[in-house]
């Protein structure tokens, strides 16, 4: 069994309005095929097929205001209601008092304690890795979670060697980032690559920030491209995906890209997309962001007992 955790930032349930919701302007053949031409929207919150499902997950965490990435991602990665813990939504970086909790209780750390193998597959440019080393108090939640286990973030070298994925999926901007030697790939090829890499681990994790960036820009063209890249990426993963052995969980931390009429995040629920083995186990348990890491850990614990 291989577990594929796909985190895409800033993706919620929106209206079926192609003028503001790029889900209904983009070409998304993989998602449409999975769900019989149905896409997540506030008018269609649930869909279940023989191999895949989507269902709404509350991202507000019972706290007033707009959800933010720092607290949302901390909640996803630990199971702690980070917004309630600090009394507000906060982001994009984790709040200072959340940092020790993230380091000690994150998903990767708890997998390590269970002797499970895991890999954060994103590769980062040297400029970004240098920034993290110079600003140790401003490390995003997922990267912080990973390095807290003693692991090292991947660089352009791992991408070149086929051992990591560019954060934008294709790697189309690496020349601008100072790494002209990194060759861009299609979303389909990137998806095939992560699927192959995932067979070497119990859990492989990919973070895709572009939807949130596009949503803040209120840029329909960029938003459509961001969604179409993910759709092609999923297509690559699913090309040899084994529904009886593999699991794919896809989730976001808050809404944004689904409503380009506003520049901010939204309070909309986010879609939990489950594909493959035992997807009902997760869709029946995950109703808000605090449920994600506990559901994954309980599932791995259950497989140990079988």
The whole-angstrom separation of Cα 49 and Cα 116 is 30
The yes-or-no verdict on residue 67 having pLDDT over 80 is: yes
Residues in the chain: 306
- Flag whether 275 is in a domain: no
Q: Which of 92, 95, 157 is nearest to 129 (CA)?
A: 157
pLDDT for the residue numbered 306: 63
The yes-or-no verdict on residue 137 having pLDDT over 80 is: no
- Flag whether 290 is in a domain: yes
Q: 230 φ, ψ to 5°? A: -65, -40
Local structure of 190: helix, strand or coil: helix
pLDDT for the residue numbered 50: 87
Residue 22: C-alpha distances to residues 18, 124, 141, 233, 240 (Å): 6, 27, 27, 17, 28
Q: 29-66, pLDDT tens digit by residue?
A: 999 999 999 999 999 999 998 899 999 999 999 999 99
Sign of the four-CA dihedral 229, 22, 210, 274: negative
For the ranges 132-141, 233-242, 278-287, which has the lowest average pLDDT? 132-141
The yes-or-no verdict on residue 136 having pLDDT over 80 is: no
- Flag whether 212 is in a domain: yes
- Flag whether 277 is in a domain: no
Mean pLDDT of 77-106: 97
- Flag whether 274 is in a domain: no
Mean pLDDT of 186-210: 98
Mean pLDDT of 210-218: 98
Question: Looking at residue 221, which CATH number applies to its domain?
Answer: 3.40.720.10
Q: Tokens 């593999």 label which residue?
A: 246
- Give how many domains the chain has, as a whole number: 1
- Flag whether 111 is in a domain: yes
Which class for 101: exposed (0-12), middle (13-18), buried (19 or more C-beta within 10 A)? middle
How much is the pTM?
0.97
| pLDDT band at residue 178 under the 50/70/90 scheme | confident
pLDDT for the residue numbered 142: 98
Mean pLDDT of 178-184: 91
| 296 C-beta neighbours (distance < 10 Å), count | 24
How far, in whole angstroms, is CA 240 from its chain's centroid? 21
pLDDT for the residue numbered 206: 98
pLDDT for the residue numbered 73: 98
The yes-or-no verdict on residue 120 having pLDDT over 80 is: yes
Domain limits for position 135: 3-269+282-305
Q: What is the mean pLDDT of the chain?
A: 96
- Flag whether 276 is in a domain: no
Per the CB < 8 A criterion, the answer to whether 111 and 300 are in contact is yes
> 92: cis peptide before it, omega within 30°?
yes
pLDDT for the residue numbered 289: 98
- Flag whether 208 is in a domain: yes
| pLDDT band at residue 133 under the 50/70/90 scheme | confident
Tokens of 189: 């090829």
């Amino acid at each position: 069994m291989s577990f594929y955790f796909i985190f895409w930032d800033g993706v919620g349930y929106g209206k079926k309005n192609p003028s503001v919701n790029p889900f209904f302007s983009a070409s998304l053949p993989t998602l449409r095929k999975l769900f019989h031409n149905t896409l997540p929207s506030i008018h269609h919150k649930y869909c279940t097929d023989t191999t895949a499902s989507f269902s709404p997950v509350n991202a507000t965490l019972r706290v007033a205001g707009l959800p933010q990435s720092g607290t949302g991602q901390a909640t996803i990665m630990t199971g702690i209601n980070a917004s309630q813990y600090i009394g507000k939504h906060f982001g994009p970086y984790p709040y200072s008092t959340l940092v020790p909790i993230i380091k000690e209780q994150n998903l990767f750390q708890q997998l390590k304690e269970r002797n499970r193998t895991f890999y954060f597959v994103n590769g980062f440019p040297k400029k970004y890795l240098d920034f993290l080393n110079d600003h140790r108090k401003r490390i995003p939640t997922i990267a912080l979670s990973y390095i807290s286990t003693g692991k090292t973030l991947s660089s352009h070298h791992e991408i070149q060697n086929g051992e990591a994925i560019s954060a934008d999926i294709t790697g189309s901007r690496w020349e601008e980032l100072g790494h002209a030697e990194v060759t861009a790939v299609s979303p389909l090829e990137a998806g095939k690559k992560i699927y192959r890499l995932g067979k070497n681990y119990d859990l492989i994790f990919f973070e895709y920030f572009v939807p949130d960036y596009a949503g803040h820009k209120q840029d329909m063209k960029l938003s459509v491209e961001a969604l179409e890249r993910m759709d092609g990426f999923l297509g690559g993963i699913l090309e040899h995906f084994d529904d009886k052995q593999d699991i794919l969980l896809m989730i976001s931390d808050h809404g944004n890209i689904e409503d380009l009429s506003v520049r901010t995040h939204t309070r909309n629920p986010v879609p939990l997309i489950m594909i493959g083995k035992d997807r009902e186990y997760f869709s029946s348990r995950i109703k808000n962001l605090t449920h994600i890491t506990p559901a994954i850990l309980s599932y791995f614990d259950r497989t140990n007992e079988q």
